[in-house]
Amino acid sequence: MKRFLLYLALFALSSQLLAQSKTNIVLVLTDDQGYGDASFNWPDTDLQTPVMDRIAENGIRFTQFRVNPLCAPTRSSIMTGTHSIYNGMWRGPGGPKTGKDGKIIKPDTRVVHDDVRMLPEFLKKAGYATGLFGKWHLGYDEDNVPNARGFDEFVGFPGGAHPYRWTKNSKIERNGKPLKTDKHFTDLFADEAIRFIQENKDQPFFCYLAFNAVHGPLRTDKRPNDSARPDWLEHYEKLGVPQPRRDYNAVMTHADDRVGDILDNLDELGLSEDTLIIYLSDNGGMTHTYPSNNGPLRGGKGEGWEGGLRVPAVMQWPGTIPAGSVSKASGVHFDLFATILEVARTDNPDKNGRLSVDGISLLEHLKSGGKSALPNRTLFFDLWGKQAAIQGPWKIVADTGNHNGKFDKAVSAAKAADYMLVNLENDLGETTDLKDKHPEIYADLKDRFVAWLGKAIDYN
């Protein structure tokens, strides 16, 4: 009996040590933050992001990190490690529509495939506590809400956009049940993330903080209402920033400030060196509706230009990622899936359901301070006909028309389309078409894109 109790005690101790040895992950995703809306990223911006700057100084910043040009496709790629046009989320999720039984009907299209598992599902099996605080936007039906997709806790809203304050029409939930609050939602989500970290400090955790900042509704000429609090606005008023940019800046800077509270909390708990922080935007800034700033890049949200794809991205892991590192490599949204799973020291699958995992782990690249090369690969993007393909410095880009998820139609349109060929090293603003000077590069990149697009026919 004594020997059995000893074995039991040793097993409990080893399990505790194993849990403590695993790295925590905090993933912060802002909404519509432009490439030029980060002070570390674009010196001419009037928007201050001191915490994002601090993470860049303590870790690594990426100059070429790309995502899909729309929120839900980006989120589906991060959560599954796969291309959004393959996993089913080729645009925002379908629904919500309610059946006669009062339940949300699962849509036939624009839903992540049932056999494709999401990141927190893998992490839960590895012993992680999992929490999402903020925006979900990957499904409304009972099989695709956050708690059904691997999250132990969810405090936020299921849709794509939400005002920043509670009203009688608010869709804020706690684990599927309505939640009423007097807090600004940026503070609600940050406070809940901090609570989650504190309650799970003795086990590995995955904390996904998905702000709706700096997505609309924000002040515009037609909407003279601020989403920021008066004290946040006062800071930018003193700096001479006019409206409506003032409201935009104030909302974004406060979200950045709350990330600082999370970092401070990790320091207080002695967890900073055991925690990987990933902080980026879900797509480029919305320059045509709100006063976003994409710096030197052309275009914005919803487009295949760099202003829609390239976003501010920083990561920190003290003692593992060298401080002050800069990566000029082409990181991509779905790489976060493979990276997080390797950091969690759990199985990193080659396939996720019927799909091949497209992302690669960036861990060794991070440890090298961005010096180790990533594999030479071609990157592809499609958002209902807003398309791009990138190989090294070369890029083709075009709008071939909205295919509405009919990928046979999309392939025909792509074959017939006249793409623009640019060299991003010499023409970051994508102004000069070089396809007539480099027809072989153009033809090769277009052929690769059409082949990639064609595979979506089999998955949808």
* Cβ–Cβ under 8 Å, residues 79 and 123: no
Task: Give CATH for domain 381-459.
Answer: 3.30.1120.10
Collapsing DSSP states into helix, strand and coil, what is residue 30? Answer: strand
Number of CB atoms found within 10 A of residue 349's CB: 15
Please report which residue ranges of 41-181 form alpha helices under DSSP H.
50-58, 71-80, 84-87, 119-125
Query: At a CB cut-off of 8 Å and minimum separation 6, what does 357 contact?
Result: 81, 82, 334, 337, 338, 348, 349, 350, 351
Q: CA dist 4 to 7, 8, 10, 14, Å?
A: 5, 6, 10, 15
Q: pTM for the complete prediction?
A: 0.95
Q: CA dist 324 to 40, 272, 361, 369, Å?
A: 11, 17, 21, 8
Collapsing DSSP states into helix, strand and coil, what is residue 445? Answer: helix
d(CA 311, CA 41): 9
89: nearest Cα among 66, 63, 71, 65: 71
* Cβ–Cβ under 8 Å, residues 191 and 181: no
CATH classification for the domain delimited by 22-375, as one of 3.40.720.10, 3.20.20.80, 3.40.50.10420, 3.30.1330.10: 3.40.720.10
Q: CA dist 421 to 94, 100, 224, 388, 437, Å?
A: 34, 51, 41, 10, 10
* Cβ–Cβ under 8 Å, residues 18 and 276: no
d(CA 25, CA 357): 20
List, edge to edge, every strand of the sheet that includes 153-157. 177-178, 173-174, 153-157, 129-135, 205-210, 24-30, 275-281, 313-316, 60-66, 325-332
Domains 22-375 and 381-459 in one fold: no
d(CA 202, CA 207): 14
pLDDT score at 101? 86
* Cβ–Cβ under 8 Å, residues 280 and 69: no
Number of CB atoms found within 10 A of residue 183's CB: 15
Strands (E) in 295-335, as ranges, are 313-316, 325-332
Domain ranges of the chain: 22-375, 381-459
d(CA 323, CA 61): 10
What does the block give as tokens for 89? Answer: 């989320």
pLDDT score at 7? 47
pLDDT digits (tens, 9 = 90+) for 296-309: 999 999 999 999 99
Number of CB atoms found within 10 A of residue 357's CB: 18
User: What's the 3-state SS for 156-202?
Assistant: EECCCCCCCCCCCCCCCEECCEECCCCCCHHHHHHHHHHHHHHHCCC
Query: At a CB cut-off of 8 Å and minimum separation 6, what does 305 contact?
Result: 297, 298, 299, 388, 397, 430
Query: At a CB cut-off of 8 Å and minimum separation 6, what does 17 contact?
Result: none
pLDDT score at 2? 53
Low-confidence ranges of the chain (pLDDT < 70): 1-20
